[in-house]
Chain A
Amino acid sequence: MNQLKILKLSKSIIKHIVIYALAFVTLVPFIWMILTSLKDMSEIFVYPPQFFPSEFKFENYKLAFEAAPFGRYYFNSLFVAFTVTLGQLITCSMAAFAFARMQFPGRNILFYLFLGTMMIPYNVTMIPSFLVLYWLGWIDTYYALIVPGLASAFGTFLLRQFFITIPKELEEAAFIDGATKLQVLWKIIVPLAKPALATLAIFTFMGVFNDFIWALIVLNSEDMQTVQLGLAIFRDRYLTQWDLLMAGSVTAVLPILIVFFFAQKYFIQGITLSGLKE
């Protein structure tokens, strides 16, 4: 009996060691990025690699921000990400409400068409979308980054699935009191749908903040660069400045990691609920 216990315990210990080792390996690139971002160049180009900096050189961050206008990039990225997220929350709630609660001819067909658009790959719409923005004179402006993102089939679908689970009685009471549809959506549905809205907000924010290809296509000028695009350009310009490059990379991942840390639940929910990935 005792032997069995020991066997079980040692098995459990081995399991823990293996899984924690794997987690460590997964995190190594992050750890390595942070450590490198704090090293002096003389400690970066050494072999075998030196793991810890002899002195934390926080100055690298200052230098990186001086070498490229990361502050400006940051402003651009955050402004665009916030605007698109807010816009999508509004447009998707409205569309979802129409699909969940309103009667109109062709509702189901339209809903399936909406769902169908999720299957259309980005690459097919990319070229004409660029042309539309070009014709509108919006290339290299915030509009180019924001406007195409102001609606989402994924978001509409996610919210609609949530809205139909909300009991109708609550709304009926409000309608008797003379509320309009918009008031019902805003005052009753939205507060009840907070978890779904949070999931959508986080996914949208992450998608826009991390976007690269669209920014690459529609932006030219230095002033308009987003963090991701700025980092890619920075890399081309300072190919071997690994101290600054790593400081820039830390800067580019930090906001998302912070959001993730506090809202992990919603990330997981978003993925499992929809089975979709952005």
Chain B
Amino acid sequence: MKNSSTDIKAKKQSRLPWKRKDDTLGAILFLSPTLVIFITFILFPVIFSFYLSFHEWNMFSNEATFVGLENYKRMFDSQEFWSVLKNTAVFTFGTVPLNMIVALLVAMALNKHIKGKKFLRTAFFAPVIISPVAAAVIWRWIYDPNYGLLNYGISFFGIDSINWLNDETAAMFALIIMGVWKTFGINMVLFSAGLQGIPETYYEAADIDGAGKWDKFWKITLPMLAPTTFFIMIMSMISSFQVFDLVYVLTSGGPLGSTKVFVFFVYEYAFKYFEMGYASAAAYILFIVLIALTMLQVRYMKNRVHGAF
């Protein structure tokens, strides 16, 4: 008797929508727009480009020819692939550390008593939000060998004019400087959030122990920031590996391919030469590199912050 009355109660409740155990139909409706887009433009592409990477196809012919691992083999045998990989690595390892150092220093300065913080934060963040195309156009003018601002600036230090964008070494350097300028604002914001998460009491305790500024930085700030730092490092590497717009507009990959980066390589083979299979193979190599980096990140985060997800 008692049982059946609770049954009735449960039945009554289940008619009320928020108590209902199952909303499958509603969920399908609510998720369907997103699912359609994801299946078409993410799920299918991921599978199809994997398929394409084993085929030769120019997209206009009806059939793709199966070539096995030929695309990958051809890539590993080509000098262009290795030089593109090298350029991407140089760009990444040139940008990321410099970017992080500048970002951390600025974040630390802004964490102290400074007048006009809001203005400063806006100033440092402004390059992040503008379009890479416009940014690269501006920097081309700054890098101009004859009338550029940068050559004028370094002339005060007794440095001769540098033909920034037409010299193989200087062009990569120019790209790195612009890359740091364009993105350190993001990391500054992330470091700021990390710094605010360090309890003030740690520093107070250190003060009582008579610790100096340097000690506090090495023994409190840096260790406490480690998760943030690691996160920033991986995220910056991932986005540096995918740089395209800045390169396209600043140097177009030149001079002599010295700034041609990975995505540029994929773009050229896919949309200039229409070698869809070869380009897909290249895209997949990049995918593997980035997944490896992400896994590193996920593993580290799991060890650090249990149950954050």
Contact = CB atoms under 8 A, between A and B. Distances in A.
Contact of B26 (A102, A125, A148, A217): A102
**Interface of chain A, main secondary structure:** helix
Contact of A49 (B20, B149, B190): B149
Interface stretch (A55-63, A64-72, A191-199, A261-269): A261-269
Contacts, number: 268
A98 B31 contact: yes
Given A102-B30, A119-B291, A228-B133, A47 B190 contact: no
B38 A151 contact: yes
Interface string A239-267: 00010011011001100110011001001
A86 interface: no
A126 B139 contact: no
B115 A147 contact: no
A129 B45 contact: yes
A267 B126 CA distance: 11
A232 B249 contact: yes
A231 B134 contact: yes
A117 interface: yes
For A47, A90, A217, the residue with the greatest tally of chain B CB atoms inside 10 Å of its CB is A47
Interface string B99-123: 0000000100110111110111111
A83 interface: no
Contacts of B125: 260, 264, 267-268
B287 A104 contact: no
Given A91-B33, A94-B33, A134-B59, A126 B270 contact: yes
Contacts of B242: 121-123
Interface stretch (B69-77, B165-173, B276-284): B276-284
B130 interface: yes
A123 B59 contact: no
B59 A26 contact: no
Interface residues of B, number: 94
A22 interface: yes
Contacts of A18: 109
Nearest to B130: A253
Given A123-B266, A123-B283, A249 B137 contact: yes
Interface of B: 16-18, 20-24, 26-28, 30-31, 33-34, 36-38, 40-42, 44-46, 48-49, 52, 59, 106, 109-110, 112-116, 118-127, 129-135, 137-142, 146-147, 149, 152, 181, 186, 189-190, 192-193, 231, 235, 238-239, 242, 244-245, 248-249, 262-263, 266-267, 270-271, 276, 279-280, 283-284, 286-287, 290-291, 294
Report the 9 A-B pairs with minimum CB-CB distance, sorted nearest first.
A128-B45, A151-B37, A125-B45, A102-B23, A210-B131, A98-B30, A104-B27, A23-B123, A151-B34
Interface of A: 12, 15-16, 18-20, 22-23, 26-30, 32-33, 36, 44-49, 90-92, 94-95, 97-98, 102-105, 107, 110, 114, 117, 119-132, 134, 147-148, 150-151, 153, 156, 168, 171-172, 175-176, 181, 206, 209-210, 212-213, 216-217, 227-229, 231-232, 235, 242, 245-246, 248-249, 252-253, 256-257, 260-261, 264, 267-268, 271-272, 275-277
